[in-house]
Structure 1
Amino acid sequence: MDIDFATLAHLAGSAANDAILEQLHEIGHEGVRVSHGYVIQHLVEGSPTVSELGELLGVTQQAASKQLLELERLGYVTRVPDRADSRIRRAELTGRGRRLVDDSRRLRRALDVHGDDAAKRALVRLLDATGGAENVLRRRVVPG
């Protein structure tokens, strides 16, 4: 294939995400979308407010609220009162949300066996060269 490395990396990543999403739907996670993963990454270890989530995602509070509503309707997220101020609501993963994270990680690990270390190192170097590695490490990757 005569495709530049960045485009090839993007296309391969998109194809992998599509395959994983299809498998997630097959095992009972109907309705979940790739964009939900950007929200869920901030709920794995935290409980942000809608405003905080919007800031983390680089979107408006309304856009973050819409994503949370979708995830709530699907049973992956719940909103709970803040421990210090019950007027503030924080988003948290439900048990179903944690299962989605576990299932996603398991499917991604299974897909990893198809890659090789040289390819992975090349992609990490590309992230480093473009300044994207820090965003990945800090879970600051925003929907594109």
Structure 2
Amino acid sequence: MAEQDPQLDLATLAFIAGSAVNEVLLRRIRDAGHPGLRISHGYVFQRLIDGQPTVGELAASLGVTQQAASKAARELEDLGYVDRYADAADGRVTRLVLTAKGTDAVAVARRVRDELQGELAKTINARDLAAARRALTALLDLVGGAESVRTRSVRPAS
């Protein structure tokens, strides 16, 4: 186990751990049959799990330009994770939706996160795991990030 550096505060440890965990999770997701995915694609997936936005709505939600959102949607469409369809109420409007492959990628990502949490639970006791979860949740609340998690609207780091 890595020795804790007393100079690292909780926020810094959370950031470094989160970045390292993202890389491990991405590698496992790729190994499980989704080799073309990138971390940035996860932000798009989050918007498509419970919704079917237009590219403009996706851009607004991500806090990026419409061109950047269109590029991300096109990448995911080319990889087979996203489809476009005409809105039933207004055929001029095009919406984005996860394909079966996209839904599978979400399921794989959830499974590998659960597996990693299980691995962590084997290295620390349940009380420490619960305390870490409470501390990180409190930190997220303190900096105003909890609502974006609840609404699946976390934005990529700028």
Fold agreement, TM-score > 0.5: yes
2:99 to 82, 94, 100: 94
Structure 1 unpaired stretches of 5+: none
**In 1, distance between residues paired with 2:31 and 2:144?**
36
One-letter code of the match for 1:36?
A: H
Say if 2:22 is the partner of 1:17: yes
One-letter code of the match for 1:6?
A: A
2:66 equivalent in structure 1: 61
Say if 2:65 is the partner of 1:52: no
User: Does the 8 Å contact 2:47/2:58 carry over to 1?
Assistant: yes
Identity %: 52
2:125 equivalent in structure 1: none
* SS of equivalent residue, structure 1 residue 42: helix
After the TM superposition, which residues 1-144 of structure 1 pair with which residues of structure 2 at under 5 Å, given as runs?
A: 1-2=5-6, 3-113=8-118, 114-115=120-121, 116-144=129-157
RMSD of aligned C-alpha atoms? 0.9
* SS of equivalent residue, structure 2 residue 40: helix
**In 2, distance between residues paired with 1:78 and 1:71?**
8
One-letter code of the match for 1:4?
A: D
One-letter code of the match for 1:137?
A: R
Structure 2 unpaired stretches of 5+: 122-128
**In 1, distance between residues paired with 2:55 and 2:79?**
18
User: Does the 8 Å contact 2:30/2:37 carry over to 1?
Assistant: yes
Q: CA deviation at 1:110?
A: 1.2
Q: Give the structure-2-normalised TM-score.
A: 0.88
* SS of equivalent residue, structure 1 residue 79: strand
> 4+ residue runs of structure 1 moved beyond 2 angstroms?
none
